[in-house]
Structure 1
Amino acid sequence: MNTQPDIQVVIEYLEDPENEQHKLALDKWLQQDAGHLDIFLEMRALWQGDVLPAISSYNTTRQWEQLETQLDAPQPLTVAPSTVTPVKKISPRYWWAAAAILLLVAGYTIFHQPAYLVKQTAQKQDSLLLPDGSMVYLNAHTSIRYPREFKTRHITIEKGEAFFDVAQKPDAPFSVNTDKVAIQVLGTSFNVKDDGRAVKVFVQTGKVSAAFKGSDNKVTLTPGVEAALATANQKIETRRPQKNNNILAWKTRQLVFEDSPLTAVAAALENCYHVEVVIRNEQLADKKLIASFRNLPLEEVLDIMEKTLQINISHKNDLVEIY
């Protein structure tokens, strides 16, 4: 949010509120952010020498309606005399008000910082070093939120998938929340994926506790174990995937298939390359693939699969079809 207004625009309007150009400039700035109205009201009170009320005491809706009416009010047309406009001497009050407004805006910027920060990814992956030294790796299409003051080590996954490498601080537990699942750790590395139907937690090192919020239904996970917490019925299923399970392939960019059925290959490709993979011929579902791919583009992977399994694959936009 841009909370640093153009001081000159605001002051020009306050000096000459009937000037149409000043009205337009102020209106444009007010439309940029909803928070600008609060700043303007405080500036106007300072300018007029009023005692500043708390922001919460403003009837923002009524003030906005009144200001819109004032800005939209037509003014009588006047013809300026054809004389040279004298240079206007700036009064000491102007400088006092400007200085007061600058202090006001600086204070607003400092004390109105958002309590939480948001990190989002679109098509590409990204990583984030947290203030406590922990690392977060975000898959594509992921959004997380965390406190600006990271005294309580708490992360919220709003959507998507993230891998956490948590710095060990026994006196400060690290927690990760999704919409319906809470995860507690002390120092470990683990993966969390919320696909809307279930929250999947896979532990690489350490120990993790995952529970449904407001419930005693929870599970403790050790290295190599994955839990799927179904949000619809609060059912928890755990499994120990094979060593080369490709759960972290989106992060490592390495896919390993050891006699893997094509259905498992399709699921791994979907998660790693963010495409939909459809097996059109059901007879191909049990075909087995032995191959490994390290940081290869999807087109190369599909080409190798075609030649190795002697199948047909088409790829258009985000859809891969196997037949």
Structure 2
Amino acid sequence: MNNQTDIDIVIRYLEDPENEQHKTQLNEWIQQDAGNLDIFLDMKGMWHGDPLPAASAFDTQGQWQVLDTMLDRVPVAVLPEVAQQKSPRVIKMNRRYWWAAAAVLLIAGTWTFIGPGGYKTYATNQQQDSMQLPDGSMLYLNAHTQVRYARGFGKDNRHVRIDKGEAFFDVKQNDALPFIVNAPEVEVQVLGTAFNVKAANTGVKVFVQSGKVSAAYKGIEKKVILTPGVEASLRRNGQEIDTRTHKKNNNILAWKTRTLTFDDTPLNEVADALADFYNVQIKISNQQLADKKLLATFPNMSLDEVLDIMRKTLRINITHKNDLVDIY
């Protein structure tokens, strides 16, 4: 598959992301080469207006001037005639299409910074996964999580980016190279610790298991220092940082340990933990039950098994249909 075809596949998807055929073609192309995912993410970011890092040896301004000239002089692009001497195919290209094509050229010019040679991308679907980073730190990924780190990680920096999902970091101490996690609008910095970062649509949550970390909104002086047992919540497009101290038996890391523990926990908090762990919606129709307390441990059990035990232990009614659980 040549570069022009690659561009066509990505552009068609970006122009109409709901088109199933475009989704299929993009997915097949990404599966062909691990580096194609990095290329797609870079093009997607620039398509939506993210700034493009420029390599010092690359004349970005000059290339944009050349592109401008091209746009003024070339209203159409003509593909070469095929061997059967069919009539040339003419494609009208709008400025956005040319812009995306130019973006690919700029990516090539800064390949060592943002392309497949610049960082590695890891993503999970339904499964969980774990890996050891080049510096010896351990990274545990929840389902539906995507992270990136530079190929030079551990040499001159220890920067990791979590684009979405949830990850637990067990960081090897290195005072000379602080470990930094970048999440949407939020930066977390540590020297050596174990902590959890969850990047959701509403914001980012950081929970510390051991050591100390700082959490801050990017571009804002205000930050908070977190110690073991403390969780910080940083909202999207926000400036305030809310903190909460959890008791020892909490379920923030249940996705990693696969064990849910409730120590006289109110039913409304139980519902929140189950909803997060099993990715379902839970409604307590009878609010008089919200203060009922549960004392139980569920080691790697299915949702229906857990609900059956709760039903018998608390003597309550529970229905479970599809992704909706009703407690009444």
Q: Which secondary structure state, in structure 1, belongs to the residue aligned with residue 174 of structure 2? A: coil
- Contact 1:250/1:273, CA 8 A, preserved across alignment: no
Distance of 1:29 and 1:271 partners within structure 2: 38
What's the Cα RMSD here?
Answer: 3.5
Q: Say whether the 8 Å CA contact 1:120–1:141 is kept in structure 2.
A: yes
Instruction: Give the aligned residue type for 2:282.
Output: V
Q: Which residue of 2 aligns with 1:187?
A: 192
TM superposition shift of 1:165? 0.4
2:273 corresponds, among 268, 283, 300, to 268
Equivalent position to 2:318, from 286, 296, 313: 313
CA 170–282 in structure 1, closer or farther in 2 if over 3 Å, else same: same
Judged with a 3 Å threshold, the aligned counterparts in structure 2 of structure 1 residues 133 and 308 are, in CA distance, closer, same or farther, namely same
Query: Take 1:243 and 1:140, find their aligned partners in 2: how far apart are those partners?
Result: 24
Q: Which residue of 2 aligns with 1:140?
A: 143
Please list the CA deviations of residues 185-229 of structure 1 after superposition, one character each: whole Å capped at 9, or x if unmatched: 001000111222232111111110111111111000111111122
Secondary structure of the 2:298 match is: strand
Unaligned residue ranges in structure 2 (runs of 5+): 12-34, 37-58, 88-108
Find out whether 1:117 has 2:127 as its counterpart: no
SS of equivalent to 1:70? coil
Does the CA contact (< 8 Å) of 2:184 and 2:204 recur in 1?
A: no
**Alpha-carbon displacement from aligned partner over 1:119-151 (angstroms, at most 9, x marks no partner):** 112222111221111111111121111112214
What secondary structure is seen at the aligned counterpart in 1 of 2:188? strand
SS state at 1:133 partner? coil
CA distance in 1, matches of 2:150, 2:198: 21
Q: CA deviation at 1:156?
A: 1.1
The amino acid of 1:201's aligned partner reads V
Report what 1:212 is aligned to. Answer: 217
SS at match of 1:247: coil
Q: Shift of residue 33 of structure 1? A: 7.6
Q: TM-score, normalised by structure 2?
A: 0.67
Q: Choose from 249, 255, 261 the match for 1:256.
A: 261
Q: 1:243, CA displacement in angstroms?
A: 1.2
The alignment status of 1:75 with 2:85, answered yes or no, reads yes
Counterpart among 159, 164, 169 of residue 164 in structure 2: 159
Match in the other structure for 2:230: 225
What is residue 300 of structure 2 aligned with on the other side? 295
Q: Quote the Cα distance in structure 2 between the aligned partners of 1:29 and 1:253.
A: 41
| TM superposition shift of 1:315 | 2.0
Asked if 2 retains the 8 angstrom alpha-carbon contact of 1:182 and 1:211, the reply is yes
Share of identical aligned residues, percent? 54
Q: Is the 8 A contact 1:27 1:71 kept in 2?
A: no
The answer as to whether partners of 1:197 and 1:232 remain within 8 angstroms in 2 is no
Q: What is the CA distance between 1:31 and its match in structure 2?
A: 6.0
Cα deviation for residue 232 of structure 1 reads 3.9
TM-score, normalised via structure 1 length: 0.68
Q: What are structure 1's unaligned runs of at least 5 residues?
A: 6-25, 37-53, 78-107
Shift of 1:28: 7.4
Whether the aligned pair in 1 keeps the contact of 2:179 and 2:192 (CA below 8 Å) is yes
Number of matched residues? Answer: 253
